[in-house]
Amino acid sequence: MDGSAVLEKDANVERREAVRQLLNSHTETNTAVGLTVFIMDIGLYAAAIAGILFLEPLWAKILLSLYAGIKLANLGALAHDAAHHTLVTSPKLNEVLGFLSFLPGLFNWALWKFDHHHVHHPNTNGSHEDSWTPLSKAQYDALSPFQRALERFWRNSYGLGLAPYYIVKRWSRVKLIPGAFLPKRFRAAAWLHFVLVAAYAVGFISLLAAAPLYSNTSSVTALVLGFAVPFYLWMTLFSTTVYVQHTHKQIPWFDSALDRRTAMPHEALSLHLDFPKIVKTLIHNIYEHGAHHANVRIPFYRLPAAQAELNKLTGTRSVYQKFSFKWFHETLRDCRLYDFENHRWLDFDGKPTTGVIVTEQQLADLTRYSTGNRYNARA
């Protein structure tokens, strides 16, 4: 790297640090707010399960079953904050609340922290296997016919593969049972948390199965509406969230080393997906995601203000999208495979569905600032 490139890289690093520092004004944690929201969400989830068991009308049970799934998603958002120690002030209380928030959704708290902190954030949209990491055309062609059919199902344009994908590819492999991918120093905690999640699951499912002993609800109804439907909806919502947070026609992916402080900042890799204010509040601002990646110390209740400031600071580098079902359908349809060499999205036939995403300046910066000797998307 020549002297001018070193100076420019240092300047870019300073700019990124300046952005992070400016966002520090939004990092104050309020324990009363975090604890109140947790109590409300966990209480409403428990109330929904109780209603399924003890209310008589089937329509009420079905509505409460769907509501329970939404509450699992809300609790997942709180667990995410707790993992970053931003839900409340106390680190120990964050650990407790995070564990309890993920427990009804059957997430292994220790595995989540490893994958999220040591893999996802340091290597966003990078070469590791993450949620919804796209395949290249060559990788797709190398799959067996059955695997290609699965890939087409996962990424069908109607969203039918969202929950199955996450259950099969992520939850069972990375969020529940510790696997060979896990470094040795994390395994003891991960296995302990697996035992705790398994014990909870056995106890909760047994309680539902025994519903005829203490209510007028059958075992089948209790298991389907008290467990299966809420869990499937939770997986759908969570899978949708992690998909749209980093998948967009303007967001690139990479399959080699990348310095995210310089050429490809966080606001270029994470989507700010905009909803009406009431919706943002109900879903705990989980889609103000660029600000979160720019400064992980921002609690969810301060993300809207932080995201607005980030958009002003970074201008066109921030990727913004107003949500619509039309946009979501088009994204599922067009963002299926990725051309890592030319940086554009492809369909399953290898036909480009977008133009080149990465600018010439960014490509030049990637070459100069790569964490390897030279940026090469096919290396």
77 and 286 Cβ atoms separated by less than 8 Å: yes
CA angle centred on 247, ends 104 and 34, rounded to 5°:
40
284 and 74 Cβ atoms separated by less than 8 Å: yes
pLDDT given for residue 126 in this prediction: 85
- Comparing 319 with 359, the larger pLDDT belongs to 319
Q: Which of 68-82, 123-137, 173-187, 270-284 has the lowest mean pLDDT?
A: 123-137
> Does residue 161 carry a pLDDT above 90?
yes
Residue type, position 123, single letter: N
> Does residue 379 carry a pLDDT above 80?
no
| C-alpha span between 378 and 341 (Å, rounded) | 6
pLDDT given for residue 258 in this prediction: 66
pLDDT given for residue 262 in this prediction: 59
**Residue-wise pLDDT tens digits, 89-123:** 999 999 999 999 999 999 999 999 999 999 998 88
Strand partners, 337: 135, 346
How many CA atoms lie within 13 Å of 93's alpha carbon, on the beta-carbon side? 12
Task: Of 73, 89, 76, 84, give the one whose Cα is nearest residue 34.
Answer: 89
| C-alpha span between 178 and 192 (Å, rounded) | 10
Which residues neighbour 207 within 8 Å (Cβ) at sequence distance 6 or greater?
A: none
- Comparing 318 with 103, the larger pLDDT belongs to 103
Task: Of 311, 320, 264, give the one whose Cα is nearest residue 287.
Answer: 320
| C-alpha span between 155 and 23 (Å, rounded) | 35
Which residues neighbour 156 within 8 Å (Cβ) at sequence distance 6 or greater?
A: 332
Give a three-class secondary structure readout of 258-320.
CCCCCCCCHHHCCEEEECCHHHHHHCCCCCEHHHHHHCCCCCHHHHHHHHHHHHHHHHHHCEE
pLDDT given for residue 266 in this prediction: 72
> Does residue 232 carry a pLDDT above 80?
yes
| Eight-state DSSP code of residue 356 | -
In terms of Cβ atoms closer than 10 Å to its own Cβ (0-12, 13-18, 19+), residue 174 is buried
> Does residue 257 carry a pLDDT above 80?
no
- Write the DSSP assignment of 86-142 as a string of letters: -SSS-HHHHHHHHHHHHGGGT--HHHHHIIIIIIITTTTTSSS--TTPPBPHHHHHT
> Does residue 371 carry a pLDDT above 70?
no
Residue type, position 92, single letter: K
**Residue-wise pLDDT tens digits, 23-42:** 999 999 999 999 999 999 99
Residue type, position 40, single letter: M
pLDDT band, very low/low/confident/very high, at 245 (cuts 50, 70, 90): very high
Measured N-to-C along each axis, helices 31-54 and 91-102 cross at an angle, to the nearest 10 degrees, of 20
Q: Is 4 helix (H, G, I), strand (E, B) or coil?
A: helix
pLDDT band, very low/low/confident/very high, at 284 (cuts 50, 70, 90): very high
